[in-house]
Amino acid sequence: MQIKLVQQKRESIKADILIEYFTSQTLKNAEDAKLLERAGFKAEQDSICFLHEKGKLICGVDALDADSLRSASAVAIKALSTSAYKTLTLSLISTETIHALVEGFILGGYQFELYKSKPKDTPVESITLTSQANDFSAQEKIFNESLIVANATCFTRDIVNTAPQELNPETLALLAKKLSDENSLECTILNEAGLKEQNMHAMLAVGRASVHESQLIHLSYKPKNPKKIISLVGKGLTYDSGGLSLKPATSMVTMKMDKAGACAVLGIMKAASELGLDVEIHAFIGAVENMIGGNAYKPDDILVSRSKTTIEVRNTDAEGRLVLADVLDYAQEKVQADYIFDFATLTGACMVALGQYTTGVMGHSNKLKHHFFEAANNSGELVGTLPFNRHLKKLLKSDIADISNTSSKPYGGAITAGLFLDTFIKEDNKEKWLHFDIAGSAYTDTPWDCNVYGGTGAGVRLMSNFLKSL
């Protein structure tokens, strides 16, 4: 499907169907108001009405703002995918909502059919957005940037959705290398021999029972005279069985999504490099498979992390934080960054706290959190903060090691996981670091907004917006 923006009158574009958006108030003045009234259309959010004889699709929205238009456009493109219409056209609502329309159509129309023996044909071939604005060049720039970010989000979704027998730590490293070649990035990969040289014994323990070697991936995007230096760290559990603390069978289904943090980091690197941002970005990914076997790491094991902090293992299903402990330490040593952000499908507790649509944000800097609330509002992603406190940190106390990998009580699980990671953030970097728990927002089995079944690409639009604001 091709989507384009042209500086023409809408009437001059020949298309099979015209898309129009109305609120309950603007509907009263619509050209087809009486016809729509007879059809029972009330312009409620995400409602649609086909006027086939007029070649129109009417979409209801609560307001003509970005969030409403994004969701309505996703509903529209899904409805059109079951029709015979091939070419669509619509007028831009405003410059501020260009990105929402692009994301609604591209992300709402996303399909992952790699494993279908008979993939469905998508009838929609082209969407033409028309504008007669005086600042068309500015609109065109926003449109092109929106395309890059939306396509990077789909790229991220593809990796999340790829089956675990195909995407393991070694093939994820190959995928990262392919991205680096295509986007002129620097790429360094450490295999298990390299991980041992770096004393990354916590990360190595998690992947010990897998037939696939664990990998540490470091991608770098280095423009000339960057304004800032950013380190991104991604949890890349290509599959998580829970280890010897085995997950229930139903909980293991969808555990291919436990690599979504790593996938988001790759998507952000793709977007940033194609946008040509003047920000230097380093991506660090811990790619591991958590399996069972005679050599699997066990509850009661004591692991010595790269930072020399000793960790008592109480649950092998709290594995992502062990991987991140070593990768965060490595990233801080390799790059003196202005900001450090990690993305991880870390805890089911985050979904309990914030729901399945919202990314949990944790860290010490309220100023930095505020910047991400702005980025979330602008990008259409949802974030919520979970506060650290000294009382919850006490729950990670171990009597035989420096720290336990799980809390001694079942409350505040997302926060105690964040506090575990905080242990491995150097004092000088505390105000520079934020942890993003995307356990709920990274994958969905029920379509919502512009997200369809499977990986959502959570984090890509959010971080891209933040990076552009720098």
- pLDDT for 84-140, tens place per residue? 999 999 999 999 999 999 999 999 999 999 999 999 888 999 999 999 999 999 999
Give the pLDDT of residue 120. Answer: 87
Sequence-ordered strand ranges (E) for 32-96: 48-51, 56-60, 87-91
- CA contacts within 13 A on the Cβ side of 57: 27
Catalytic site includes residue 247:
yes
What is the band of 366 on the pLDDT scale with cuts at 50, 70, 90?
very high
What is the band of 399 on the pLDDT scale with cuts at 50, 70, 90?
very high
- Residue 22 in contact with residue 61, Cβ under 8 Å? yes
Has residue 267 got a pLDDT over 90? yes
Give the pLDDT of residue 328. Answer: 99
- Residue 329 in contact with residue 422, Cβ under 8 Å? no
Has residue 406 got a pLDDT over 90? yes
Q: Find the catalytic residue in 56, 228, 247, 369.
A: 247
Q: Find the catalytic residue in 10, 70, 256, 321.
A: 321
Catalytic site includes residue 38:
no
Look up the pTM and report it.
0.97
Give the pLDDT of residue 122. Answer: 86
Phi-psi label, residue 452: left if phi above 0, alpha if psi -120 to 50, beta otherwise: beta
Residue positions counted in the chain: 470
Question: Please, what's the largest Cα pairwise distance for the chain?
Answer: 76
Q: Any idea what the Cα angle at residue 363 is, between residues 431 and 459, rounded to 5°?
A: 110
Give the pLDDT of residue 56. Answer: 98
**What is the average pLDDT across 341-351?**
98
With a pLDDT cut of 90, the percent of the chain lying above it is: 99
Q: Which helix (H) or strand (E) holds 222?
A: none
How far is CA 168 from each of CA 62, 159, 174, 213, 327, rounded to the nearest angstrom?
43, 11, 10, 9, 18
Domains and CATH numbers, the chain: 2-130 (3.40.220.10), 161-469 (3.40.630.10)
Cα 126 to Cα 369: distance, rounded to the nearest angstrom: 39
| pLDDT, tens digit, 9 for 90 and up, residues 222-240 | 999 999 999 999 999 999 9
**What is the average pLDDT across 265-277?**
98
Q: What are phi and psi of 279, to 5 degrees?
A: -130, 130
